[in-house]
Structure 1
Amino acid sequence: MISAILLSLPLVSLLPVVSAHGWLGSVTVGTQTFVGNVPNASPTGTVIRQIDDVDPVKGASNAFLNCGQNAQLASDVAEANPGDTVAFTWVNGDDGPWVHNAGPMQTYMTSCGSQSCSSFDSSTASWFKIQEQGRITPGGDWAMSLMNTGAPANVTIPSNIAPGNYIIRHELIALQIAQTEGGAEFYPACVQLKVGGTGTGTPSEDELVQLPGAYSDTDPGILVDVYSNPDAAYVFPGPAVAAFVAGNSTATSSSASSATTSSSAVASSSSASSASCKKRRDVVRPRTLSRVMKNLVPQ
């Protein structure tokens, strides 16, 4: 009976479920912008590994925690330099601005070794953290919330990193229902790079982690009520930022120049996001339903 009622509802009534999730719509590396493939659509050339569903990854041991839902190799590689800004523009399931506003953003990198990252299997990669972003101010809004206006999240490639082939992985952890175990929502995305320069910075062996493997569903930053005690210090899951990265980037904010965070970068102005959105307006976007709705709506 319930299924019959749901099936009788207009599809438009189901759209908020889709919009609440999302994907990495575009990335700007230095001065070059690359548009991501729509989840589960026919792929085109890009540097962003394509996922097949806008739903979050659930569970800290989920294999898709690596690069996203069934992430596929991307065909292209972005040229980058130490110190370049990488601007990640996340969108919701309707290609509008990101909607979640509570939870951290973290960025990792892994070396693809001597091979191009376009053919690198990241499932057994060793990752090191280069950035973590929490609240803008103690007890205040999260840096993630700045993306609700369409602004990108800016991350700086370490200025002393050794040249080579790398994947840079940006991760959003939405905590709005993280009060119960398994409630945290993970949104990882992977971008393929080739970094130049003459740096020598590399992580130490004890700073490398597996993904999945670095988190537990009961970690204090994953099983947490961020609303009952907003003044409590947030404990970032995973390793600390690699020691060689320290001091390589600065915090910026579109909403408050004096804002402080426990991170190395904050989402900034929406100009880069606006430019990338214009490039995507003519792209046909198939509707991607959440897994719950797929069980209710005929395909």
Structure 2
Amino acid sequence: MKSALATLFTASLIASTAAHGWIGEITIGGKVFSGNKPTQLQPSANPSVVRQIVDNQPVKDVTSAELTCGRSAQPAALVATAKPGDEVLVDWKTANANGLWFHDVGPMMTYMASCGSESCADFDASKAKWFKISEQGQDASGAWAQAKLDTGSPAKVTLPSNLKAGNYLLRHEIIALHTAMTAGNAEFYPNCVQLKVTGSGTGVPASSELVSLPGAYKAQDKGILLDVYNMNGAYQFPGPPVAAFVSGGSAPKDDAPTSSSKAAATPSSTVKATPASSSKAVAEPSTPIANPGAKPTASSTSTSEPKSTSTPSSSTPKTCRGKRSRSRRAPADVVEHPDVPVSVVPDTRRSRVRAHRALMPRRESF
């Protein structure tokens, strides 16, 4: 009996670990860029515009420096060129056999931060001042936008249509709330992408709309500490509201309260990647090239073809649950767990649910 329980616990732990993810691919204005697996799974990174994280574990401490761009995130070698109004498709990957995202309750939010005159490939993200451009929660049926990732759909974000030209970090964040009933158990998954925005836009956030990450969240925030399966009223997003200029409005005065707004969708356009260096004007190549001053990386780059771009939550608390693969795309390559063969990971929904139930704390009878 003890042996069976130990096996079940181990399998559940592996499945839960495999369910955590990273940005495996991002499409910006129709141009596809591949990300790298975490360093523990892929020690030699390919040139990318996505900052590589060290592993796929969540950040749980809202005061941790890892909340900025992910666990031990390192600057990437490349920078993607984008235009105001470009559609951005963020494709999250996991170490599950089907490669799909696993969690389905909690918000997704997108921030941007100016790197100033410095290329974002050389920028220290700990110094960034972030403004929010998007927040996605529940639809009218109560289903979370995050749940669509389970089916293989990417998260969709639109760059502000009047965004001022410059160097920017784009930070996409998923917050999984399935165990957020107690403080310190919400799971944060941030990942950052390096951009150079062109055009003649003039839109900028007010200083009152800028925040530090970490710094913008508190462990007791209503959108972080809650029983997501028994909410009273609408979900309250943590952090600042969406910057006013994103929806075409005027930036608020710095001494006036800000209001939340959503980015308006605009047609996407194809973009070209530029070298990471920004010290002088150069011709823009049609494919990304490595920054001469960036940390050396492998010479080969993984490529992929461009691709086209919910379920109501349960009334009772639950932990991570498996889903059948409903991806409209071919399944991703299997990513092996660094210590245990992927074959150990339960492949059926029933086995995963049983495994996760084994991790749930038992309630004492009184």
TM normalised by structure 2 equals 0.67
Query: Given the alignment, which residue of 155, 158, 163 partners 2:157?
Result: 155
Aligned residue number for residue 19 of structure 1:
18
Query: In terms of Rg, which structure is larger?
Result: 2
Aligned residue number for residue 255 of structure 1:
none
CA distance in structure 1 between the aligned counterparts of 2:75 and 2:245, rounded to whole angstroms: 28
Aligned residue number for residue 287 of structure 1:
337
Residues 50, 76 of structure 2: 8 Å contact kept: yes
CA distance in structure 1 between the aligned counterparts of 2:150 and 2:31, rounded to whole angstroms: 23
Query: Given the alignment, which residue of 72, 86, 107 partners 1:104?
Result: 107
Matched, 1:117 2:117: no
Residues 184, 222 of structure 1: 8 Å contact kept: yes
Distance 1:227 1:75, change over 3 A: same
**Which amino acid in the other structure matches residue 236 of structure 2?**
V
Aligned residue number for residue 221 of structure 2:
219
CA distance in structure 2 between the aligned counterparts of 1:217 and 1:10, rounded to whole angstroms: 28
Percent sequence identity over aligned pairs: 52
Residues 246, 264 of structure 2: 8 Å contact kept: no
CA distance in structure 2 between the aligned counterparts of 1:191 and 1:25, rounded to whole angstroms: 11
CA distance in structure 2 between the aligned counterparts of 1:206 and 1:243, rounded to whole angstroms: 11
Cα shift readout 1:134-184 (whole Å, capped 9, x = no counterpart): 1012x6101111111000011000000100000000000000000100010
1:285 CA drift (Å) = 4.2
CA distance in structure 1 between the aligned counterparts of 2:262 and 2:235, rounded to whole angstroms: 12
Aligned residue number for residue 88 of structure 1:
90
Gaps of 5+ in 1: 249-261, 291-299
Query: Given the alignment, which residue of 130, 135, 143 partners 1:127?
Result: 130
Which stretch shifts more, 62-71 or 10-19?
10-19
1:271 aligns to what SS in structure 2? coil
1:194 CA drift (Å) = 0.4
Aligned residue number for residue 295 of structure 1:
none
**Which amino acid in the other structure matches residue 38 of structure 1?**
K
Map residues 139-218 of structure 1 onto 2, 5 A cutoff.
Answer: 140-218=142-220
Cα shift readout 1:223-246 (whole Å, capped 9, x = no counterpart): 0111013x5211110001111102
1:27 aligns to what SS in structure 2? strand
**Which amino acid in the other structure matches residue 17 of structure 1?**
S
1:93 CA drift (Å) = 2.2
CA distance in structure 2 between the aligned counterparts of 1:157 and 1:11, rounded to whole angstroms: 42
Aligned residue number for residue 33 of structure 1:
32
**Residues paired across the two proteins, number:** 266
Distance 1:264 1:177, change over 3 A: farther
1:23 CA drift (Å) = 1.2
Aligned residue number for residue 69 of structure 2:
67
CA distance in structure 1 between the aligned counterparts of 2:263 and 2:144, rounded to whole angstroms: 14
Distance 1:13 1:64, change over 3 A: closer
1:245 aligns to what SS in structure 2? helix
CA distance in structure 1 between the aligned counterparts of 2:153 and 2:31, rounded to whole angstroms: 17
CA distance in structure 1 between the aligned counterparts of 2:241 and 2:12, rounded to whole angstroms: 43
**Which amino acid in the other structure matches residue 241 of structure 1?**
V
